């Protein structure tokens, strides 16, 4: 049983929690739900720190972790808490191998629906967008700059969706060129646009671009496709990036369901 926060595994987990960019090959998993989703998606979980006095549900998760080949270490709950980032620990923190980068040929799929998260700075926003993309039937997410899609906060907000959905990382200009080369329709969310999203052509293959929370889409997307706005019926300047992504992706899904 691990009782000290100075244990090497605890220190490894703390580094991943506080400086995730230092290790681009592994990611931190916090809480039973995220660990469960990682197991279901087939991620290789290297090691887990688990409350030494687990409830029945957590004990069952421990059995699955061991069956999957993870090294499981019981620990005092305060040690589990110290290894993660959440205020109140849910009893398990683990380290897993990051999902491999998806094959770039996925952009060639005729039914492509890709959410382009362009410079999204808040990992919580990015994680929510990834979760929404999976729920709305998108086939991929592309992150251009901004937060790391596998930042611990993004992983928690996505609730494991990032393990089930291909996530590309690329520069905005390079991604724009690749989308254009494959004939992908590009729709850029812009509150100043003249075209209402309800009047926009959204048939796949389509890329839905949602820009930075404060600055909007980067200059790389200027004139890349059709700029669309989501109308506001109340006195607000703009929607949260994750909310805008949800509106647009569900409109794409609604139209696909009608075909």
Q: Where residue 16 falls among pLDDT bands split at 50, 70, 90? A: confident
Per-residue pLDDT tens over the stretch 216-249: 899 999 989 999 999 988 888 778 999 999 999 9
Domain at 104-258, CATH from 3.40.50.150, 3.40.1280.10, 3.30.465.10, 3.40.228.10:
3.40.1280.10
Rounded to 5 degrees, what are φ and ψ at 199?
Answer: -100, 0
- What pLDDT score was predicted for residue 145? 93
- What pLDDT score was predicted for residue 181? 94
Residues of the chain with CATH 3.40.1280.10: 104-258
H/E element, 252: helix 241-258
Per-residue pLDDT tens over the stretch 65-117: 999 999 999 999 999 999 988 888 889 999 999 998 898 889 999 999 999 99
Closest CA relative to residue 156, chosen from 124, 114, 198? 124
Residues of the chain with CATH 3.30.1330.30: 8-97
Q: How many residues does the chain have?
A: 259
Query: Above 90 in pLDDT, residue 18?
Result: no
Looking at residues 153-168, what average pLDDT do you find?
A: 94
Query: Above 80 in pLDDT, residue 35?
Result: yes
Rounded to 5 degrees, what are φ and ψ at 66?
Answer: -65, -40
Q: For 154-166, give one letter per residue: b (16+ CB within 10 A) or e.
A: bbbbbbbbbbebb
H/E element, 62: helix 56-67
Percentage, residues of the chain above pLDDT 70 = 100
CATH top-level class for 8-97? alpha beta
Looking at residues 11-33, what average pLDDT do you find?
A: 88
Check residues 22 and 208 and name the one with the higher pLDDT: 208
- Residues forming a β-bridge with 247: none
Looking at residues 178-192, what average pLDDT do you find?
A: 94
Strand ranges in the chain using DSSP code E only, listed in sequence order? 26-30, 45-51, 71-75, 92-97, 113-118, 140-144, 167-169, 185-189, 195-196, 206-211, 226-229
- What pLDDT score was predicted for residue 163? 95
Question: For residues 35 and 24, what is the distance between their CA atoms, to the nearest angstrom?
Answer: 19
Q: Where residue 152 falls among pLDDT bands split at 50, 70, 90? A: very high
Based on the number of CB atoms within 10 Å of its own CB, is 149 exposed (0-12), middle (13-18) or buried (19 or more)? buried
The answer for residues whose C-beta is within 8 angstroms of residue 106's C-beta and 6 or more apart is 112, 139, 140, 166, 168
In three state form, how does the secondary structure of 23-47 look?
CCCEEEEECHHHHHHHHHCCCCEEE
Question: For residues 174 and 91, what is the distance between their CA atoms, to the nearest angstrom?
Answer: 42
Query: Above 90 in pLDDT, residue 19?
Result: no
pTM of the model: 0.92
Bridge-based pairing of strands 195-196 and 226-229 is parallel
Mean per-residue pLDDT of the chain? 93
CB 219 within 8 A of CB 176: no
The DSSP code for 233 is S
Check residues 23 and 144 and name the one with the higher pLDDT: 144
Question: For residues 130 and 166, what is the distance between their CA atoms, to the nearest angstrom?
Answer: 10
């Amino acid at each position: 049983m691990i009782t000290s926060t100075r244990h090497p595994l605890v220190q490894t987990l703390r580094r991943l929690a506080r400086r995730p960019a230092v290790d681009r090959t592994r990611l931190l998993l916090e809480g039973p739900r995220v660990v469960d989703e990682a197991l279901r998606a087939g991620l290789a979980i290297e090691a887990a720190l688990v409350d030494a006095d687990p409830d029945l549900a957590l004990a069952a998760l421990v059995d699955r972790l061991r069956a999957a080949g993870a090294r499981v270490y019981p620990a005092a709950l305060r040690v589990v808490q110290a290894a993660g980032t959440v205020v109140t620990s849910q009893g398990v923190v683990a380290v897993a191998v990051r999902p491999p980068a998806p094959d770039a040929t996925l952009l060639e799929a005729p039914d492509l629906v890709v959410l382009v998260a362009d410079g999204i700075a808040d990992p919580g926003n990015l994680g929510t967008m990834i979760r929404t993309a999976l729920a709305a039937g998108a086939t991929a997410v592309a992150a251009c700059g901004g937060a790391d899609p596998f930042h611990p906060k993004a992983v928690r907000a996505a609730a494991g969706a990032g393990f089930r959905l291909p996530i590309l990382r690329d520069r905005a200009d390079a991604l724009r060129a690749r989308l254009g080369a494959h004939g992908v329709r590009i729709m850029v969310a812009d509150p100043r646009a003249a075209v209402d999203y309800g009047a926009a052509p959204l048939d796949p293959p389509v890329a839905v671009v949602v820009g930075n929370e404060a600055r909007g889409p980067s200059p790389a997307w200027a004139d890349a496709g059709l700029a669309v706005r989501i109308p506001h019926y109340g006195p607000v300047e703009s929607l949260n990036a994750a909310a805008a992504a949800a509106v647009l992706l569900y409109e794409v899904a609604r139209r696909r369901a009608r075909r």
